[in-house]
Chain A
C-alpha cells in the first residue's frame, strides 16, 4: 500500500513537457571523419550538423561516449556534447562508450575518471592481443583478445583488474575475428558479437547461434557502437548503414547522407 502511494505521487511530473525531447538514435561519421548526431526513430533518421571533426574512432550509447582524435580523447555526454578532454597521442586506443583501453601500456581508462586512476590490465592475463572492448558495467568489463588466431572474450574485474572469466566464441566469428582484415570490424555487445566483412555482418548470439545480414560489397567495413541499441556500419565507398538491435533481433537501415549537412 505504501508502494502504491509512492507511484501515484510521481506520475504527474513523469510526463511534464520538459520530459519530451527529440529522440537521439546515436552518432554517425561522415567521409571526412566528422561526427554527426542522428535524431529520429528507426526508418526515419535525421542526420544533424557535425558535432566534432576528425574522429579517428568513437563509441556512443545512451549514457554518452568517447571520441578519439589525433591527439585527444574526448568524453561525450548523452546529447553528444564534449564534456571532457584528455591528451592521448597514442594511435592505438580501443573504445567502448565508457572506457578507453591503451594496448601498448595495458591501461584501461574510465571516461568518468582522471587517467591517473586508470586500471592496469596485466598482459599475462590477456595472454594475447586485445582487439576490441566489450560491454562494461560498474563491476566488470569484457575485452576481446586474440590468442594466436583464436578469439577470446575475457571478463575483468573493474576494481581489481583480475581476470574473472574467459570464453572462446566459436563459429565464423571465432575463426575470422583475428584475421588481419577484420580487426577493425569486431564489436562485442552485451548479448551478441558482431563481425563485419566485405559483404555481410555476422552476428553471434550469446547462445552461439550465428545469423548473417548482407551489406553492399565494399573494400573496408568498420563498425561502431553508435547508440544504446544502434550500431553504425561504416563502409568505404558506400552509404553508411545502421543496425538497430533488440532482444528480438536486428534490422539494417540505410542512413541519410551526412555530407549534405553543414
Chain B
C-alpha cells in the first residue's frame, strides 16, 4: 500500500498539468471552447441543468490529485471524482457538471485541475418570482390595453411576488416607449416573501394597433393596444366684418376652442340661401383661393387656428345675391355653421362709360341688383351748362328685359347695360347723363356721367 502511494506520488510529481484539457461532450463528440468558457444558460433558482465533459489527458500517464469547482452553484454529479486518480495517456475522465442557481443573477465557476484552471462555467439564475395582474389573476396573453387616444394613457397593474427565502433583484422593462413601466428603475429589489407592484402605461404616439412586450427577467408577456387620433377641439367661424354686403370680399378664420391635440384637415363650404327662392346661380359667391365654394384647411397639433395654405384665413366673395350666406365648417366630428346676412340693397353701380359717336350716344353700365327686382330705369341728359335736356327724365320699364337676362345668367345680380341713343343733331351738345334704377330696396342714382369723345 505504501509502495503504491509512493508510486502515485512519483507519477504525480512527474506529470505535467498542461496535459489535461477540458472538452464538452456534444452528440458523443468532444467539443472544445476556444476561450475555455462554457455556458449553462438561464435557469430559475433551484432548477438544474447538467452538462457532460471529458477531462482528457493528452500527454503521458498522469495522476489527478486535485479537481474542484470554485462556486457551489456548479457541482459534480453524482459526486466529485475520487482522488487521487490515475489518468492514463490518451484517456479521459468523465465529468458531469450540474448548474443549480441558488439565487437570481449571474453565476460563474472555474474548474481547477491539479492547481490549473481548465475552464470557466457560466449561468444565470432567475428569481423565482410569480407575475400576476393587480387583482392576483393570471396575466393574459396578450395583455390588452384597449383603444387609447393619442396624448392619453391606459394603465395596467402588475404584481411580482418573490417566493424565495432571500431577497431578489428582478429586471423589469418593455420593448419600446409606447408601453412604459412605472417606476422606471430596474432591477427592482423584492424582499423574501414580498410582492412588488408595478404599473404599465400604454401611451400611444400614433394611430392604430401597437404591440410590445413586458420583460420580467427572462419572462415575456405580450402587450397590445390601439392608438386613436384624438378629437379636434370644437371649431368656430370668425368673419373679419359683420357688416359685409354684396360685391365685397371678406376673410374667414376658423378658430379652435383649445390647442388641437389632433392633426388633420377640414373644410369650409359656403352656400347661399337667397331671399328670392327663384334667384339664379351666383358664381361670384366663392373662396378666392380655390375659385369654388369649398376651401380646405389644415390643423396641426397645438394649433388654435386653422391654416389655409400659408394663411390663417380664407378670402371669399359675397356675390350679388341678397339672402343668407351659410358657412359650414367640418372638422373631425364637428360641424359648425355661421350665417352671414346679405341685406337687400339698392342697385350698385360698378362702372360706366359714356361716349359720343358720330351717330349718337353710347352708354355702358355695369351694376348689380341683389334683389333681381329692378323695375324702372330713368335717364336724364344734361348739356354743358348742367341744364336738363328736354324732355327731362325719361323712364322706361326694364323689369321684363332684365328678368329675362337674369334667368340665363350665372352671375347673380350682376348685369351690364349697353344703351345706344341715336342723335339726329350734334351729339357734342350732350354733356352728361344721370341714370336712376329702382328696385325693391329703393332707388339708386349714378353720379352725372360725362360723355367723352374717343
Binding site for B on A (CB under 8 A): 1-4, 6-17, 19-25, 39-47, 62, 137-138, 228-229, 239, 244, 246, 253-261
Q: Which of A10, A12, A138, A255 has the most CB of B within 10 A?
A: A10
Q: Is B12 engaged at the interface, CB distance under 8 Å to the other chain?
A: no
Residues of A within 8 A of B320 (CB): 40-41, 44
**Residues in A whose Cβ lies below 8 Å from that of B289:** 239, 257
**When chains A and B are docked, how far (Å) is the Cα of A25 from the Cα of B425?**
33
Which of the listed residues A1, A15, A244, A261 has the most CB atoms from chain B within 10 Å of its own CB? A15
Chain B residues near A40 (CB, 8 Å)? 283-284, 320, 411, 414
Give the contact stretch, choosing among B187-195, B327-335, B362-370: B362-370
Q: Is the CB of B317 within 8 A of A19?
A: no
B390 and A1 form a contact (CB under 8 A): yes
Q: Which residues of the other chain, A, contact B425 by a CB distance below 8 angstroms?
A: 2-3, 6
Residue among A8, A43, A246 making CB contact with B394, cutoff 8 Å: A8
Among residues 408 to 431 in chain B, which have CB atoms less than 8 Å away from a CB atom of chain A?
Answer: 409-412, 414-425, 429
Nearest CB in chain B: distance from A172 CB, A: 28
B residues contacting A by CB (< 8 A) are 246-249, 283-292, 315, 317-320, 348, 350-351, 353, 360, 363-364, 366-368, 377, 379, 381, 389-391, 394, 396, 398, 400-402, 404-405, 409-412, 414-425, 429, 454
CA gap between A46 and B394 in the complex, in Å:
33
**Interface residue from A20, A62, A253, A257 paired with B402 (Cβ < 8 Å):** A20
Question: Are A14 and B389 in contact (CB-based, < 8 A)?
Answer: no
Contacts of A47 in B (CB 8 A): 291
**Least CB distance, B149 to chain A, in whole angstroms:** 36
Is A17 a contact partner of B350 (Cβ separation < 8 A)?
Answer: no
How far apart sit A12 and B394, CA to CA, in the bound complex (Å)? 10
CB distance from A34 to the nearest CB of B (A): 14
7 interchain pairs (CB within 8 A)? A14-B379, A20-B405, A22-B409, A41-B414, A43-B317, A256-B291, A261-B291
Question: Does the CB pair A62–B411 fall under 8 Å?
Answer: no
Tell me if A15 and B247 are in contact (CB < 8 A): no
> Which listed residue, B246, B287, B315, B360, touches A44 by the CB 8 Å rule?
B246
> Which B residue sits closest to A47, measured CB to CB?
B291
In the complex, A8 Cα to B288 Cα: how many Å? 45
Q: Which residues of A contact B421 (CB under 8 A)?
A: 7, 10-11, 14
Instruction: Determine whether the beta carbon of A21 is less than 8 Å from that of B396.
Output: no
**B389: which of A3, A45, A255, A256 is its contact (CB, 8 Å)?**
A3
CB-CB < 8 A to A41: which residues of B? Answer: 247, 284, 320, 348, 350-351, 366-368, 414
Task: Give, as a whole number of angstroms, the nearest-CB distance from A206 to chain B.
Answer: 15
Beyond A3-B389, A23-B415, A256-B317, 16 additional contacts (C-beta under 8 Å) are A3-B424, A6-B422, A14-B396, A15-B396, A15-B401, A40-B283, A40-B411, A41-B351, A42-B351, A44-B285, A44-B320, A62-B364, A254-B315, A257-B291, A260-B292, A261-B291
The answer to whether B454 touches A11 (Cβ under 8 A) is no
Which of B292, B366, B379, B396 contacts A23 (CB under 8 A)?
B366
- State whether A42 touches B247 (Cβ < 8 A): yes
User: Nearest A residue to B355 by beta-carbon distance?
Assistant: A62
- Docked CA distance A83–B292 (Å): 31
Among A17, A43, A45, max chain B CB count under 10 A is at A43
Structural contact, A22 and B454, CB atoms closer than 8 A: no
Q: Closest Cβ of chain A: how far from B291's Cβ, in Å?
A: 4
- Give the docked Cα–Cα distance between A257 and B288 (Å): 6
Q: Which residue of B lies closest to A190 (CB)?
A: B452
B447 to chain A, nearest CB (A): 9
Determine the residue in chain A with the shortest Cβ distance to B360. A10
